[in-house]
Structure 1
Amino acid sequence: MEYNVTSISSTAFTINTVSRWLNYVLAIPMIILGILGSILTILVFTRQSSFQRNPTIIYLLAGAIMTAIHLPTIYLQSILVDGFGLGIFNTNDLACREHNYLLYATTVAAISFPCWAAFDQYASTCREASFRNRWSSIRVVRAAITGTIIFWTIVYLPMIFFSGIDHNICVLTNIYYRNLNDFIVTPLVYTIGPLTFIIIFTRRTIQNLRAVTLTNRRDHLTKQIRHMLIPQLIILALSGVPFGLQNIYFNLTNDVYKDSLRQAIEHLFVQIIRLFYHFNFVFTFYIYLYMSSEVRKVLRRITTSSRKKSIEGSNTDSIVLQTLTCDNTSRDRLF
C-alpha cells in the first residue's frame, strides 16, 4: 500500500513537471510570437489603403487589437501561475476578479470578430445588391465592433462580483452563476455559437460564389482575404470544442474525491487544451502572412521603410558628429 502511494506521488510529480515545462518550452514562445504577430497585423492592416476600406479586414484588425490586449494581460498571468508558481490571481482577491472578468470578456470578443468576418464574406458575395450595400459596409462594421465589445463587457460584469479565492484557487464563488456559465454560456459562446456561425455563413458564401462570378478589380484581394480567413475559422471551430467542454467536466466532478495523480493528469490536460485554444490568438498573423501575397508585400514595405529610416538616421548622426568635430578643430586653431 505504501509502495502504491509512493508510486502515485512520484507519477503525479512527473506529470506536474511536464505541465510546468509546457509553459517554459511552448507557452512563453507562443506569447512572444502572438504579441509580435498581433502588432504586425495592426501595422500591416493600417498601412494599406485597400485593407482599410475592406470590411472583413477591419473585423480581423479588431480581433488583432483584442489579441494584443488578451495575451499579456490574461495568458501571461496564467503562465506565471502554472509555470513559475507566482500565484497572482490565486492569492489576491482583486487580481482574481480582474483576471476572471478580462479572461472571458477579451476571449469572447476576440473570437467574435472572425465570426463577423465570416458573415461579411457571405454579405459581400450575396447576389442582392441592396443586401450587400447594407450589411457589407464600413458603417455596419464599426457598429458591429462597438456593439460586440459593449455587449460582452456587460454580459460578463457578474464575473467581477461572483469571483473569489477558494483554497488558494481563483474560482466563481456563486454556485448558480457558475452552473449558468459552465453549462450554458461557455458551451454556447465557445463551441455551439462559433461552430454554427462559421458553418452556416461559410456554406452560404460558397453557394454565393458558385451561383455568381463577381468580376471587379478587388477580386484578387477578396480571394486572398478569403484564403486568410478560412484556416483561422477552422482552428477556431476545432479548438473551441474541448475548451468549451472542460468547464462542464470540472463542474460535474467538483464534489468527487481526486487523488494527486488524477489532479495532475487533469491539470496537464488543462494546459494542453489552453495551449491548443490559444492557437487562435498566436498564429493568425502567420496564417495571413503565408496565405496572402498582399500581406507579405506590405510587410516588406514596412521593413524596408524602417531600415531606410534607420540608415538615414545613422548618416545624419554621422554628419552632425563630423560637423561638430570640424567646428572644434577650427576653434582649436583659433586659439
Structure 2
Amino acid sequence: MFPVVYSDYATSILSHLKQQGIDVSELVAASGLPSEYQQTESTFLPLRAVFRLLEVTYQELGDEKATALIRNALRTHIVPKTLSELGECKTVHQALNQVIRLIQVQIPQSKVSLDPMGDGVIFSRQKPVHTDDSAFIWSEVFTLWIMIELVQALTKSNWLPKQVHVQSHSCSELIPCFPRQIQFIQAREASGVIIDNKVLSQPVFISSPAPSDEDEGNAHYNAIGQTYSALRPYVLELKFDLERAAQIIEVSKRTLQRRLNQHGITFRQLRDNLIADLALEQLQKGEAVSRVAVNMGFASITQFSRSFKRITGLAPSRIALRQI
C-alpha cells in the first residue's frame, strides 16, 4: 500500500497555524500537499507530505513554538477525537490497547504495538521509512508527543516518560523538542515511550461504546485501507479500470465510486498511488529506474519519473541512490 496517513493530522496543524495568523499557502506548497488543500471531510494523504508539513512548520516557527503548536493541536483535536472512539475500559493499559487499533487505521503502514519492557511496556511505532530523510525526524517528534499526550489525557496528569526510543540515528534535532529529563535512545527498531506498570494500572473513566464493525462511521475510517490492500496485487493488469476494481472487491461500481468519494480520492488517484507503491517497493529492493519504469508499464523513464515525483515528492533516482 502506498504510504498514507489520516488527513486529520495535517488539517489540525494547518488550523492552528492559521489561528496564529500564519499564511499556510507556502507551507502547503513546500510540503507537497495538494494545492488549495482544505479538508471538508476525513480522507488520507501521502505520508511524506504530512512529514514535510511537520518539517516546514518547525523551520517556520522554531523548536519551542512549533512544539507548543503541535501539542495544542493534539490536545484540542486529535487526542480527544481518538479517545472519544474508545469502548469501555478500566485501566490505562486496556485503553492503550484500543488506541493502538485506532492509530493502526489512521496510519495503515505503521506497526503500532505495546510490548513488555522491564517493569512496564514500550508503546511504539515502527515505520518502513529511510531514517536519513530529514522529514522523518519530525514525524518521530509528532509520534512521541501523540503518545505522551494520550497517556496524559488518560491519566489526567502531566506524565512524562523517563526514556524514549527513536529510529533516527541522531537525536540532536529531537532533544530540543522535549523536556530535558527525558533520556533518548537512538537507532532503535521503533520509536516509542517507556510506560511503567504503575501508570498502566491506573484507572480511566471512558465509557463511550465501541464502534460496531458494521457501523458506517467505522467503515469511513478503514474502508480505504482495505480497498488499497485488496486491489494492490491487480493494479498492473492490462485492463485495470473502475469496473475491474469493483469486480475484484465484489461491490458495484457505484459503491466503489461512493467509497472513494467519501475519502476525497478519485479512481485515477487510487490507481496512481498503487502503482507508485509497487514502484517504490522495487526501487528499495535495488531495481534500476529504467527497469521499474518498464515493469510499471510506462512508455519512458521520463514519463515514469515525472509521475512518481508528482505522487511521492521524490525523484525515483533518489530512492535508487539510497540503495547503493
Q: TM-score, normalised by structure 2?
A: 0.24
Q: Which protein is richer in helix relative to its size?
A: 1
Q: Which has the higher contact order (CA 8 A, sep 6+)?
A: 1
Larger Rg: 1
Q: Which protein is richer in strand relative to its size?
A: 2
